[in-house]
Structure 1
Amino acid sequence: MAKTSGSAPQNYSDAERSLKRDGLKPVYLLAGRKLWADSYLRDRFIDKVKKQFHGSDDSDYTLETFHAASDKAENIINSLSTANLFTNKKLIVIHDVQRMNEQGIKGLAQYMNDPILDNCVILVSLNFDARRKWYSSINKNLMSVKIETPFANKMPQWITLLAKSRDKNISRDASGLIAEYAGDTLQMIDMEIEKLSIFIGEKELIEENDVKEAIGFSRQLSPFDLEKYFANKDLNWTLSAIDNMLERGEKPTAITITIYNFIMNTLVYLETGSNSSARWSPREQNKKDAAKYWKRADLVESLILVRESDLKIKQTKIPHRVIFTELVLKMFDKKGEAVA
């Protein structure tokens, strides 16, 4: 393994290509604010390093994992600097590196000056703040990798990549449907593609009907999904989401609150305008979508409709599905359509 000088963080895709093209570096730093909420990319990169490390000429190695929040800094630094009696190489993963004490950071900095090239060290942190003393102290012979959930416009590329990793191709419509079903979490998307690759058997192409049959409503739709369908005035999906939530025992009050919150959040967004500096997020996107389809007057009227529906739920024996369906039809201005 060749040394590398400290540099600005690479995005995940570039780092993975570098790993394949240039081979292993002696030390990696994986960092991102949502590492623990969505750990898929972190685990994927560590797994690829493991496979490449194990696939080198001398395949015997020891894997040691530490958590700086709970393991003593002395033990971590000793592991970095000492050889294993039974193997020639070590792969060392240190989580929560930003929580190491001063002694630990000093020991890391010393190791960075002259890392053991036969070993590989992976540091995992929650941020890349170059102003922090610990980061500036160790940013030598280090490849920094920024771990972030891809933006929505990058998800089709990831879906194609994950399908190809299983020797499958996927149609554009099928890809869009997977993104719709699975949301913006790569771990969920990967699980759904794994399910699909098993479902279609020897067939090479994943098609839209495969997604509908294999995934469908097997996953539980959440209040966030309901907000998204309301934002886009998607009648069929909104009604299907409410049915799905009722069938699995969601309380009608919780559904009502979700609808009420959607209305209030959209009203605030329409009155205050877009925050151009806000980082993209699914909920931020929902607000932008809602602004395209909803007028203030319609939302104010919808508040009255929601209150009326809430009273019906509490005071009558009308099936909840019927009450919510009537509410949605009125909110979407589809009053003339029949309730199934």
Structure 2
Amino acid sequence: MTYSEFKSHLEKKQLSSSYLFVGSEDFLIDDCLKRIIDQVVDPDTKDFNLDVFYGNEIDAGKILDTVNAYPMLSDSRLVVVKDFQKLPASGLDLLAKYLEKPVSSTKLVLTSPKIDLRNKAFSKIKSQSVYIEFKPLYDNEVPTWIQSYLKEKNLQISHEAGILIQARVGNNLHALVNELDKIILNLAGERKIEEADVQKVVGISRNFSVFNLNDAIGNRDLNKSLTILNLMLESGESPTGIVAMITRHFVNLLKVKGAMTLKKSQNEITGLTGIPPFFIRKSKEMASNYSTPQFQHIFGSLLQADLILKTSQQSRKIALQTLLIKIINDVGTDINIKSLIS
């Protein structure tokens, strides 16, 4: 089950006796814990019916005593064991045994950054619980998460504003929420966050490199590419250095494209380009986004931009923005590319 599926599950108000939260995305885990606490525990009896333990600080006997106890002045109680994987093997076996016949009035939540399912106790606990995995969000998942977070507050965000806040803050959800909440406080009654609202409140806390820019260009994401470019220029990056690194990136992508045509192995592509093996898959995807004629246009545009930066009085920012638009929208001058890959 995913985070989104878990939220839908809670809305049905048909809770399981046991939940297993596993993953490294702490913000989403904390959010789900809050949601299940709000649904299970009466605020007036919270002190009596909510217990939070840590696996390295508690023994399984105490946990079992608590989950087997009846709720006080309420129909249900909630027991949370964080880092439950730190319990000794005997304790894990006791938990697995308890879950064979759990107390109906108790809801048990176990959390862990990672579990080894080759371990019989872990495997058994998973099979007896509702299992939710919390992985860090990918870049392309963050905008949807931002929209969902704001929707629950009856707010919206423009596409441009979403790209800008992600670009400035990164994918850390705790940091994103802090900045979003600051923006909300400054909305003055408006229900939609615009790019200007982000610019006014959110500083640049994410360090960008030309590698981030190359990824965005390789994926043909113009808005993200322009946002990253502007932030890099604001932080003092060299315009000619940016062009040089983009050129190197596309030379490598062209080599990857040629190697793919020749059905070269991953190791052969690494030897040809110097790209680490774990980046080859991503490089193949980006190389596939551009045809050979488009590469010709790209190298023509790169040469033109380099010449403008070195000999013209034109704004550096405008020259680079124009370059990205030409690359991603395939508007450029042909150039013989054979010499670039020899």
In 2, the alpha carbon distance for the partners of 1:244 and 1:155 equals: 19
- TM-score normalised to structure 1 length: 0.63
Q: What runs of 5+ residues in structure 2 fail to find an aligned partner?
A: 264-278, 334-342
Task: Indicate conservation of the 8 Å contact 1:26/1:115, yes or no.
Answer: yes
In 2, the alpha carbon distance for the partners of 1:254 and 1:107 equals: 61
In 2, the alpha carbon distance for the partners of 1:236 and 1:16 equals: 31
Greater Cα offset, 18-27 or 55-64? 55-64
The 3 A distance-change label for structure 1 pair 62 and 233 is: closer
In 1, the alpha carbon distance for the partners of 2:131 and 2:244 equals: 43
Question: Out of 274, 290, 295, which is 2:292 matched to?
Answer: 295
Q: How many residues align?
A: 294
Cα displacement string for residues 37-75 of structure 1 (whole angstroms, at most 9, x for unaligned residues): x33322211111222233377433343231x4xx16xx3
Q: What runs of 5+ residues in structure 1 fail to find an aligned partner?
A: 1-9, 276-281, 336-340
Task: Indicate conservation of the 8 Å contact 1:112/1:140, yes or no.
Answer: no
Tell me how large the CA RMSD over aligned residues is.
Answer: 4.9
Question: What percentage of residue pairs aligned between the two structures are identical?
Answer: 18
Task: Indicate conservation of the 8 Å contact 2:21/2:109, yes or no.
Answer: yes
Aligned 1:1-340 pairs, distance under 5 A: 10-31=1-22, 35-36=23-24, 38-55=25-42, 58-60=45-47, 61-66=49-54, 68=55, 71=56, 75-83=58-66, 88=72, 89-95=77-83, 97=85, 100-126=87-113, 132-139=119-126, 141-148=128-135, 158-168=145-155, 170=156, 174-175=158-159, 177-179=161-163, 181-182=165-166, 185=171, 187=173, 190-191=177-178, 193-204=180-191, 206=192, 210-216=193-199, 218-219=203-204, 220=206, 222-223=208-209, 225-231=212-218, 238=225, 241-249=228-236, 259=246, 262-263=249-250, 266-267=253-254, 269-273=256-260, 288=285, 291-293=288-290, 295=292, 298=295, 302=299, 322=316, 325=319, 329=323, 332=327
User: Which structure carries more relative contact order (alpha carbon 8 Å, separation 6+)?
Assistant: 1
Partner of 2:276: none
Cα displacement string for residues 74-123 of structure 1 (whole angstroms, at most 9, x for unaligned residues): x34133112499x84453232262x6543232122122123344443222
Greater percentage in helix: 2
Task: Indicate conservation of the 8 Å contact 1:41/1:147, yes or no.
Answer: yes
The 3 A distance-change label for structure 1 pair 213 and 267 is: same
In 1, the alpha carbon distance for the partners of 2:252 and 2:317 equals: 23
The 3 A distance-change label for structure 1 pair 83 and 150 is: closer
Report how far residue 28 of structure 1 moved. Answer: 0.6
SS at structure 2 position matched to 1:59: helix
Task: Indicate conservation of the 8 Å contact 2:239/2:316, yes or no.
Answer: no
Report how far residue 11 of structure 1 moved. Answer: 2.7
- TM-score normalised to structure 2 length: 0.63
Q: Report the residue type matching 1:91 in the other structure.
A: V
